[in-house]
Amino acid sequence: MDFIRNFPLFTIVFSLFSGVLCMMLPGKAAKYYTAAYECLLIFFSASVLWYTSVTGTSFTYVMGEFPAPWGNEIRGGVLEALIALTFLIVMLCSAFAGWHFLVQDIDESKINLYFTLLNLLTAALMAMTWTNDIFTGYVFLEILTLTSCGLLIVREIGRTTLAAVRYMILNLLGSGLFLLGVVLLYDITGHLLMMNMQGAIAEISKDSRQMTTLTLSVGILTIGLAIKSGLFPFHFWMPDTYGWATPTSASVLSALVSKAYIFLLIKIYWRVIGIDVLDRMPIGKILCVLGMCGIIFGSVSAMRADNINRMTAFSSAAQIGYIYMGIGIGGMAGYTAAVFHILTHAVTKSLLFLSTPRLAEVSDGSLLFKKLQGSALRDRQAGAFFLVGSFSMIGIPIFAGFSSKLLFSLAAVDSGSNKKLILVMLVLAVSSLLNAMYFIRTIIRIYTHPQSAAAQALSSVTAGSAAAQGLAAGTAGSAAEVTSREKQRRASGLRRPDYIIPSLVLIAANLFLGLFSWAVVDLIERGFGMFF
């Protein structure tokens, strides 16, 4: 057996151990330790990705001495490795780029605990990605739920505590429904390992009465994961959760945690239920409709938001809708688009959530749009990062968002159903329009100077000397602005490479997904090919 096959195990055990170790370290040491070992984890995942894509095979890894139906198993394939690699890169970038705010938001005696939670969350993400056993999925889903609540409350202000309570109640409801679904499936099939369950289910599904039971059980499980990932009727916890958390938490929660639930769902659909059996259930259609509703309603709510983080959070609700729409379209093309969008959203939303607090910092610490006027001019880096993120979300070519929208429309064409094609195209068109509206509104707002806007208004009303006076006032104002901006920047100490480099890495990942989407799509398709 090749040594690389051990790497998935190492990623899980190392990150569990690192979580416990970080409790013993002082805050700064925990940060550097986390960085070092996450680089190691990235190396492990990349090796597995290389190994599985070169050999063209997936492998199962027996946890202990007891093989298939008796012991636990994990599984390495192209898809798992790709998801794990992306998750780890985004995790590392978020931890570093948000450090500046972490120190402000968290009491210094608790920074090591924050990294403890972050590492346990990494372990849970890894285990949920690699698992080949549905109950292992549940155990680590519990860790994910608890750690994400911890990442929220760590800021210790009223709003995050309140948001965390709401988030926890909904998440526990979701966990409960998921557990119920797992228990029912176990009762029907007598197995917990994915492949054995699939065999049993393929046999059971021939009986129509049992098929109804099966459909309802899968439905309960799906609702559980949909609540946890924030599909349309359950998306209302998102703005508070993402809006007030410390930037690293917001980025990790929106970009990784909800995606891990969706990836587990996809894995269950393919490897437990089997895609042929699933096609006979109405679940796909329901998910498609709910996803479309999520896209539209999320975008409309984002337009009405008065706060940049709430807007970005509602946009997350819309993006989750896209992913579920891809799952609902079904077929290889639909799932490929969904997984591609998971990657796109992970690298884009983290970039957005890491740039908004910096825009707020140069605007009296307020995230309200009315205070943010001209903030990108005061902090050009953060403005540029936000610009890239929004272009990707809108779907401008060369960025990742464009490729995933293209993939969704191709999947709709491939699905062979006219109804689906028309609906998906319509929703894509409308949502792109809405996305463009609220993101471009934000961009205009953060890039227009308050003074020059006033000057323009003045010049349009009066003529001649009055306009000249107004312009003069405007330039004088902006000169004063420049010096104050410099002062602010020096004071905040934001010109640090540990913010810029992670953001550039995220932008590079975004461009890579946009420009070389064919390579990634090829990898995902090969991953699905060996997913049975």
Partner 1 sequence: MNEKFRRWLCGDTDVLENITDTTEIPDAPRERIKENVQTARRTVLKAPEAQRTMLLERKGFHAAYTAVAIVSCILLIGVLLFIVAGLPLYGQENVRADEVIKRYIESGLKETGAVNIVSGMILDYRAFDTLGESHVLFTALVCVMILLRRDKKNMRPDYEDYYTVREDVYFDISKDSILGRVGTFLIPCIFVYGLYVLLNGQISPGGGFSGGAVMGAGMIMFSAAFGFDTVDKFFTLKLSSYITFAALSFYSFAKGYVFFMGANGLDNGIPKGAPGAILSGGLILPLDVAVGLVVACTMFGFYSLFRRGSIGGASAGTVPTETD
User: Is 153 or 266 the residue whose CB approaches partner 1 more closely?
Assistant: 153
Q: Min. distance of Cβ 115 from partner 1 in angstroms?
A: 10
Q: Min. distance of Cβ 143 from partner 1 in angstroms?
A: 6
User: Is 220 or 347 the residue whose CB approaches partner 1 more closely?
Assistant: 220
User: Is 244 or 528 the residue whose CB approaches partner 1 more closely?
Assistant: 244
User: Is 218 or 292 the residue whose CB approaches partner 1 more closely?
Assistant: 218
Structure tokens that stand for 369 in this block = 């749009």
How far apart are the C-alpha atoms of 10 and 19, rounded to whole Å?
14
Helix 78-97 to helix 7-24 angle, to the nearest 10 degrees? Answer: 20
How far apart are the C-alpha atoms of 364 and 67, rounded to whole Å?
60
Q: Min. distance of Cβ 5 from partner 1 in angstroms?
A: 8
* Integer angstrom CA distances of residue 86 from 29, 350, 372: 25, 12, 31
User: Is 243 or 374 the residue whose CB approaches partner 1 more closely?
Assistant: 243
User: Is 83 or 154 the residue whose CB approaches partner 1 more closely?
Assistant: 154
Q: Min. distance of Cβ 120 from partner 1 in angstroms?
A: 5
User: Is 89 or 221 the residue whose CB approaches partner 1 more closely?
Assistant: 221
Contact between 246 and 101 (Cβ < 8 Å) = yes
Q: Min. distance of Cβ 320 from partner 1 in angstroms?
A: 17
The residues, ordered by sequence, that sit 6+ positions from 388 with a Cβ below 8 Å of its Cβ are 351, 399, 507, 510
Helix (H) or strand (E) holding 63: strand 59-63
Secondary structure percentages of the chain, helix, strand, coil, to 5: 85, 5, 15
Helix 258-267 to helix 134-153 angle, to the nearest 10 degrees? Answer: 170
Q: How crowded is residue 475: how many other Cβ atoms within 10 Å of its Cβ?
A: 12
Q: How crowded is residue 517: how many other Cβ atoms within 10 Å of its Cβ?
A: 19
Q: Min. distance of Cβ 281 from partner 1 in angstroms?
A: 14
Instruction: Give the E-state strand segments of 67-151 in sequence order.
Output: 72-76
Q: Min. distance of Cβ 178 from partner 1 in angstroms?
A: 14
